[in-house]
């Protein structure tokens, strides 16, 4: 699903197999009434697993129950809006393969004040990781892999 799912005209909630563009996310949250914009980028980090083989991570593969994931993402934005005076909000998440160094999630929030933007952005990523049905699989250079049981 590459089309935005909006909670209102000031929000963009997206699941996509395309690469995420932080500049686009920032542009979407720009607002003349906003004095603070906070952006979180989640990226695939290079790491080696702890097995005796010490396999190197090549990518993360994301899968989701898309309809439910989008509904939960929209709910999170609504919850954040109930707590903070958010001007505009972006929650975009990749699906499919995300190589080391690539962005898997972008959250951007604009508010009148920076403290609100920081708090709302942190709330959104923390809750996304624990409540949204998006799963990831570690894909190693030796082609082996391991699905994670929890959402992140």
Domains in the chain, CATH or no CATH each? 11-143 (3.90.1170.40)
Angle at 73 between CA 70 and CA 75, to 5 degrees: 110
Check residue 51 and give its pLDDT. Answer: 65
pLDDT in tens, 75-108: 999 999 999 999 999 999 999 999 999 999 999 9
Report pLDDT for 1.
47
* CA 137/CA 149 separation, integer angstroms: 9
Report pTM: 0.88
Structure tokens at 150: 């929890």
Burial of 87 (0-12, 13-18, 19+ CB in 10 A): buried
Alpha-carbon distance of 130 to 76, in angstroms, equals 11
Task: Point out the residues of the chain with pLDDT beneath 70.
Answer: 1-8, 50-52, 143, 146, 149-152
């Amino acid at each position: 699903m590459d089309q935005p799912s909006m909670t209102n005209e000031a929000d963009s909630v997206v699941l996509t197999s395309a690469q995420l563009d932080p500049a686009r996310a920032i542009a979407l949250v720009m607002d003349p009434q906003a004095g603070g914009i906070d952006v979180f980028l989640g990226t695939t980090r290079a790491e080696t697993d702890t097995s005796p083989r010490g396999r190197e991570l090549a990518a993360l593969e994301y899968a989701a129950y898309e309809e439910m994931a989008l509904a939960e993402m929209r709910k999170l934005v609504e919850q954040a809006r109930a707590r903070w005076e958010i001007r505009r909000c972006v929650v975009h998440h990749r699906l499919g393969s995300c190589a080391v160094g690539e962005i898997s999630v972008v959250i951007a929030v604009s508010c009148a004040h920076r403290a609100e933007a920081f708090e709302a952005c942190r709330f959104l990523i923390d809750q996304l990781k624990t409540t949204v049905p998006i799963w990831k699989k570690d894909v190693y250079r030796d082609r082996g892999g391991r699905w994670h049981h929890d959402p992140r």
